[in-house]
Amino acid sequence: MKYAFLAVLYNTPKEQVEKLKKEIRSLNFPSCKVFLTDNSLVNKGLAAAMNRLLKKVKSYNPDVYVFINTDLSIKSLSKENFEESAKHFDLWGFAMKQDGRTYYGGELDRWRMSGALLEKKPKYRFIESIFVPGPVICAKKKVVEAVGEWDERFFLYYEDVDYCLRAKKAGFKVGVDTHGVYSHFEVSKNDSNKRRHLITSRLKFLLKHGSVKQKLYELIRLPKTLIENRPFVINFLTLNSSSFFNKLLNFVLFIFLVKYLSVENYGIYTLVWAHIALLQPFLDFGTTSYGLLYLPGRSTKDLSSLFSLRLILASVVFTLTLILANFLGYQQSVFTYIFLTSFTLFTNAVSGSLLIYASLKERLIIPSLLSIGFNLVLITSLITNLIFNQSLSTLFVLVFIFYNIYTLINFIYLKASVKNLKFTVDPRAWFKILRRSLIFLMISLFAGLYFKLDVFLLNFLKGPKEVGVYSAGYKFLEAFLFLAASYNIISTPVMSRLRKEAVSNLVLKIKKDILYLFTLGISVTVAFFVLSPYLLPLLFRKEYVDAIPVLRIVIWGLPFILVTSVFFNSLYVLGKAKIVMWLFILQTIFNVTLNILFIPQYSYIASSYITIIGEVLNTLITSVFVYKTLTDENIS
């Protein structure tokens, strides 16, 4: 009989391929040929690759097709195993050793259609089975001709179960030679996307082959399914829910601020927080991104080095923030407010370290609940003060007290969670962290400058009252930026996966995301543009009436900000983060120049229009770079 071995490569070492070929040759088939296809560059899934191989093999016209993985060893199999199995089955496999266990065929759960490998050794050598272990599947020519191509809807996992079941439904005998044993090393077990592939592929399999009762059962047990997969689902929902809830709380606080504070006092309140945010990128210095990228699986010592560095950075930024406040010549009261608020820098250093640790351990519930609880207590206290006191100084005293308590709580929880966490002085480790974090710092720094400099320029060229008017209108745009933040959290891992697994599909995702986010942004924009003249007077004091035209202008930036976030994510996953950095540098220069030129004559209206122009330019420029990068990689 003529045999064809079909194998799919994916970043497979050359020596592993040669080893497999050698083991196939040692079977001593009179007529045998190995066919390979490489999925490393454009990976549309295992089933799609198998179909490419079937087209290659067609001219060879084999009697038996052997679909085989590369992460295994078949040196324990013999020609006799193949030939004897062919006498009993039309499609067959062998016993598989994996992680110290041996599996003999597979069965399907009667309710959920989930596949399970059988560990109990059968009494007989040749046994019929629903499906055979996927690393080695042998099929006679008549099976391949009848069953046809592999189902490309299964990107990874269950494509083999589907093929076996289709053969069985077509009337062919499917089984296992339990005396033939091979070893599978399962490279994919280290794939961080394995759980997701298994879940999605099983559901596709159920939808394709399951009965109405089975599908209804799966729908009813959906809550249990979510609980079973809680490391992903709960962390995802917790992170986004806490982010949204905190944004909502801060927006409620904003409504009370503009209701009970004068425009000038609200301008001072905004100016203080803008000043704190000015140097805040140096507080993080990109260490959050570094921690999430480089700390998984590392020792407590590495986390201690990162935590210690973040505390040092907080101390430096705290000092520089006060020096800068003194240099800019603020009033004594404003300087005092900045001093009290600067202690939030230490809060961010500690709570950020806890968030990094919790993200690495996939335990985001406690930090998220702490954040929600803290914001709820803080904002309730601030609103109570506004209703009964309207004292700006008391507001900042409350901020000072509650943030320091929150810092202490986060530190206690972090210390209890991380064994042997301590402050360490390790300049070599710090330098390594800072070097790798630098690009993220630059992006954060210039993004912060880009979004905050108009407030400072308004203050120095006009005054706190103009800052209050502009900030009150801009706050509504800022309130909806959580949409971009949520999109980034959800989309970045998906884009990164597509970049690795199926780069050609990245373009489709970009197009879909642009359409979705632009439509969402335009809908919100039009609604606020039309309703703001009627809605804002109900929320604002009369002296804030000038904020209405500001809102009606800046809100048009929302759809462009959302679309630009798609392009930013695309550039990150395409390895072009430096483009984002330089874009923010140029936009900062652009923003400063135009504001200095036009604020003296047009005040906050100039800042409003400059914001829109800047966001439109961001969208246009990033779209050009994304298109060029994709074209250079022959993706578009």
With respect to residue 151, please indicate whether it lies within any of the assigned structural domains. Answer: yes
Residue with tokens 């989930």: 114
| Domain with 374 in it | 230-427
With respect to residue 415, please indicate whether it lies within any of the assigned structural domains. Answer: yes
With respect to residue 171, please indicate whether it lies within any of the assigned structural domains. Answer: yes
Q: Are residues 202 and 246 in the same domain?
A: no
Q: State the Cα–Cα distance between residues 275 and 456, nearest whole angstrom.
A: 8
Q: Are residues 345 and 245 in the same domain?
A: yes
Predicted local confidence at residue 636, as pLDDT:
41
With respect to residue 274, please indicate whether it lies within any of the assigned structural domains. Answer: yes
Q: Is the pLDDT of residue 232 over 50?
A: no
Q: What percent of the chain has pLDDT over 90?
A: 38
Which of 357-366, 413-422, 512-521 has the highest average model confidence (pLDDT)? 512-521
Q: Averaged over 518-524, what is the pLDDT? A: 91
Give the end of a domain, one of 195, 222, 249. 222
- Strand segments, DSSP code E, in 53-190 are 64-68, 72-73, 91-98, 101-103, 106-108, 115-117, 126-128, 136-140, 174-184
Q: Which long-range contacts (CB under 8 A, 24 or more apart) does 622-631 make?
A: 622/564, 622/567, 622/568, 622/571, 622/579, 622/580, 622/583, 623/567, 625/567, 625/571, 625/576, 625/579, 626/510, 626/567, 626/570, 626/571, 626/574, 629/570, 629/571, 629/574, 629/576, 630/506, 630/507, 630/574
SS3 state at 103: strand
Q: How many residues does the chain have?
A: 636
Could you tell me which residues come within 8 angstroms of residue 475 by beta carbon, excluding any fewer than 6 positions away? 251, 254
With respect to residue 446, please indicate whether it lies within any of the assigned structural domains. Answer: no
Amino acid at 611: T
Q: Are residues 197 and 243 in the same domain?
A: no
Q: Are residues 234 and 268 in the same domain?
A: yes
Q: Are residues 207 and 259 in the same domain?
A: no
Residue with tokens 């924009």: 525
Whole-prediction pTM: 0.51
Q: State the Cα–Cα distance between residues 202 and 156, nearest whole angstrom.
A: 10
Q: Averaged over 27-48, what is the pLDDT? A: 87
Strands 136-140 and 64-68: antiparallel
Per-residue pLDDT tens over the stretch 104-135: 988 988 888 888 888 888 889 999 999 998 89
Q: Which residues of 444-480 are buried (b: 16+ CB within 10 A; e: fewer)?
A: bbbbbbbbbbbbbbbbebbebbbbbbbbbbbbbbeeb
SS3 content of the chain, % helix, strand, coil (to 5): 70, 10, 20
Predicted local confidence at residue 139, as pLDDT:
96
Q: Is the pLDDT of residue 439 over 80?
A: no
**470 falls in which pLDDT band (50, 70, 90)?**
confident
E strand or H helix that includes residue 415: helix 392-417
Q: Averaged over 477-500, what is the pLDDT? A: 69
Q: Is the pLDDT of residue 76 over 50?
A: yes
Could you tell me which residues come within 8 angstroms of residue 443 by beta carbon, excluding any fewer than 6 positions away? 286, 577, 580, 581, 584
CA dihedral of residues 107, 111, 113, 118 (deg, nearest 10): -20
**162 falls in which pLDDT band (50, 70, 90)?**
very high
Per-residue pLDDT tens over the stretch 335-387: 999 999 999 999 988 887 887 777 666 566 777 788 888 989 999 999 999 99
Q: Is the pLDDT of residue 252 over 70?
A: yes
Per-residue pLDDT tens over the stretch 167-204: 999 999 999 999 999 999 865 554 556 766 787 888 88
Q: Is 398 left (phi over 0), alpha (psi -120 to 50) or beta?
A: alpha
| Average confidence score pLDDT of the chain | 83
Q: Are residues 7 and 35 in the same domain?
A: yes
E strand or H helix that includes residue 56: helix 46-57
Range with the lowest mean pLDDT among 15-19, 248-252, 279-283, 524-528?
279-283
With respect to residue 561, please indicate whether it lies within any of the assigned structural domains. Answer: yes
How many domains is the chain partitioned into structurally? 3
Q: Are residues 46 and 131 in the same domain?
A: yes
With respect to residue 443, please indicate whether it lies within any of the assigned structural domains. Answer: no
Predicted local confidence at residue 494, as pLDDT:
67
Give the end of a domain, one of 222, 239, 271. 222
What is the CATH classification number for the domain harbouring 97? 3.90.550.10
SS3 state at 105: coil
Q: Is the pLDDT of residue 57 over 70?
A: yes
**345 to each of 226, 284, 389, 400, how far by Cα in Å?**
37, 10, 27, 11
Per-residue pLDDT tens over the stretch 289-324: 555 555 554 455 667 777 888 888 899 999 999 999
Question: 107: which 2 tokens?
Answer: 């069965």
Q: Are residues 486 and 538 in the same domain?
A: yes
Predicted local confidence at residue 236, as pLDDT:
46
Q: Are residues 234 and 218 in the same domain?
A: no
Q: State the Cα–Cα distance between residues 497 and 517, nearest whole angstrom.
A: 21
SS3 state at 263: helix
Strands 64-68 and 2-9: parallel
Under 8 Å between Cβ of 393 and 337: yes
Q: Are residues 311 and 183 in the same domain?
A: no
Q: What percent of the chain has pLDDT over 70?
A: 84
Q: Averaged over 48-72, what is the pLDDT? A: 93
Predicted local confidence at residue 631, as pLDDT:
80
Q: Which residue has better confidence, 89 or 207? A: 89
Predicted local confidence at residue 573, as pLDDT:
78
Q: Is the pLDDT of residue 489 over 60?
A: no
Q: Is the pLDDT of residue 68 over 90?
A: yes
Q: Averaged over 493-518, what is the pLDDT? A: 75
Q: Are residues 185 and 237 in the same domain?
A: no
Question: 634: which 2 tokens?
Answer: 């022959």
Q: Averaged over 76-83, what is the pLDDT? A: 93
Predicted local confidence at residue 249, as pLDDT:
86
The gap between the terminal CA atoms of the chain, to the nearest Å, is 44
With respect to residue 407, please indicate whether it lies within any of the assigned structural domains. Answer: yes
Give the end of a domain, one of 376, 400, 427. 427
Q: Is the pLDDT of residue 230 over 60?
A: no
Amino acid at 259: K
Residue with tokens 């939030």: 344
Q: Are residues 480 and 552 in the same domain?
A: yes
